[in-house]
Amino acid sequence: MRRRDVIVVLSATAICSCEFGEIMIAQGDPIVVVHAVMRPDLDRQWILVEQTLTGSPSDESAHGVIPGNPPQLPVTGATVTVANLSLANDPCGAVSFTENPSALQLPRADGLYWGPQNCPTMRTGDTLELLVETTDGHAVKGRTELPGAAAMILLVGSDSVLLPGPPLRLNRDSDTLGARVVAVAGRALQLEVSGFDSAGGSALITRFLVDTTAITLPGNLTDFLAGVLGEEDSTSVDELEPILVAGRSYTATIALTDERYFDYLRSGNLPLSGRGFINHLEGGMGVFGSIVARTNMLKVVGDIDDEREGTYRLVGSISGRPVDVTLELYVAAAGEDSTAASSFVVGQWFLGGIDNSARGFFRGDTLALTIYQPALGLPDSVSAFVVGGLIGVTGSFELDVYDADLSVVGSLTATRGSPPGLPRVIRGFQTGVDASGFSRAFGSSILCRVSNRSAKSSLSSRSSSRPATWAIWSDDCSQRSSNSARRCSRAGCSAGWRIRRMGPFPQMSSFTPKATPSMVAKTTAGSSRSAM
């Protein structure tokens, strides 16, 4: 009887729980939201002023919603000023920010306020004060202490450059990407990597924020945060997409931040941790912070481990215009019926000189590669052609050029060139190896890697346990010696070769490595509101 009583009680509870009354939730009060990050490295500063949604039907009626998540409403007609409290005789004075200034070269939007050129005055250690006064009587105040760095250094493998500096080549299969700042004042280091779309526009790929002055990341780092909060995400660790893809260009931006900006980026309403948003503003929410930043170009390459990868010279014409370009081609993610590919394109193209990155795919040995080229002086005008045909591993072969209507508008003769990259010695080889690196102690020869570590599994950047192939080369790595190739693994090399040091390798000129198939996951470009 007791079990029956329990069932009856539960049934009655279930019936009662289905009967809800209507509850009217009161509309919330609007809160002013400010996004303002001062950057001394820029000649103009901007401030975005919004307000939170209240549930009112009129929320979206007046000015529309500024894109974002969650959506917020622009605040127009506000009085926005920034003053340097550390400089009493600042020639800029209390700087007024203007909404939608008449200068046409500046982005214009409701709620976006621009300051005058080169104002306010900003020096390392200065304190700036923000005041936002809205037409309905709200006032938001904030302060920031300006950071400063004596040097910002970008590191790729064993190479480094003081920013701003020349572009760097990063081998995603063997190099690391690092950033270091020599801080005079500041709280944290931010490293941001952005890619480019077909028209040359920038898109954020990833951002790392650390409370130290240095950070080092592996070149084959995957996007481990992708879908981390998605309820239906079933992506396994081996299927995570890489951040850097060979054959594409990126920008790496190093920033030194103040305390406010650091707290703004590292906090939020996170359901997993329960940590709330750290707010330093009075009378509103958001951020009034500051950073100093420098940006540098990266060209990402990879080990040559697929016979279709390498350099190709394309000579011919498109619609009667001469073409002479070099492709540096890499394969990437393998799909069900195709394999993604990326390539650097350098030389003379349809509209003149080109130094760009193209994307496409292979079906078997047939390539389809889309090459975009912005028109000089016309930022919104872009030419696009598809280069397609059967790729030959050796010798010359013909490729057709298609326009947007898939009509043939040109023909190119392609010739396979020398490998684009250098054979790299695997760093971190421990057993029987001097910590400084690798080189075989025999006459004037050195030990060079001929092929990649091993075949890579699909959608994974991790290599299997099969050994790499090594060969004895001359001092300059430009030709193979008569010695036969040796097999090596992490346990050491056969035939008792003793490895002692590693030196830089010059450009290869006459040797094409025998390749093993490679399938490396494709990348995606994310987007997010950022100060950089």
Domains and CATH numbers, the chain: 32-145 (2.60.40), 148-279+288-301 (2.60.40.10), 310-416 (2.40.128), 423-506 (no CATH)
Q: What share of the chain is helix, strand, coil (3-state, %, to 5)?
A: 5, 45, 50
Rounded to the nearest 10°, the torsion over CA 251, 252, 258, 264 is 70
- pLDDT on residue 75: 93
**Is 470 within 8 Å of 464 (Cβ atoms)?**
no
Q: pLDDT per residue over 204-254, tens digit each?
A: 888 999 999 999 999 998 876 655 444 455 555 556 778 999 999 999 999
CA distances from 115 to 86, 89, 101, 527 (A): 19, 19, 9, 25
- 381 C-beta neighbours (distance < 10 Å), count: 12
Both structure tokens of 444: 């004037």
Q: pLDDT per residue over 251-299, tens digit each?
A: 999 999 999 999 999 887 666 666 688 999 999 999 999 999 999 999 9
- pLDDT on residue 257: 97
Query: In whole angstroms, what separates CA 337 from the centre of its chain?
Result: 27
- pLDDT on residue 173: 92
Phi, psi of 27 (to 5 degrees): -65, 140
pLDDT of the chain, 532 residues: tens digit per residue: 444 444 444 444 444 445 556 666 666 788 999 999 999 999 999 999 999 877 666 555 555 555 554 556 899 999 999 999 999 899 999 999 999 887 667 777 889 999 999 999 999 999 999 999 999 999 999 999 999 999 999 999 988 999 999 999 999 999 999 999 999 999 999 999 999 876 667 788 889 999 999 999 999 988 766 554 444 555 555 567 789 999 999 999 999 999 999 999 988 766 666 668 899 999 999 999 999 999 999 999 999 988 899 999 999 999 999 999 999 999 987 666 789 999 999 999 999 999 999 999 999 899 999 999 887 766 567 889 999 999 987 779 999 999 988 899 999 999 998 765 443 332 322 222 222 333 322 233 333 333 333 323 222 233 333 333 333 333 333 333 333 333 333 333 333 333 322 233 222 222 222 222 222 222 223 333 345 5
> What is the 8-class DSSP label of residue 446?
E
Instruction: Tell me the whole-structure pTM to 2 decimals.
Output: 0.69
- pLDDT on residue 67: 55
Both structure tokens of 63: 């000015």
- pLDDT on residue 318: 96
- pLDDT on residue 204: 87
Listed in order, strand segments (DSSP E) in 477-525 are 486-489, 492-493
Query: What's the longest Cα–Cα distance across the chain?
Result: 94
**Where on the phi/psi map is residue 253: left (φ > 0), alpha (ψ -120 to 50), or beta?**
beta
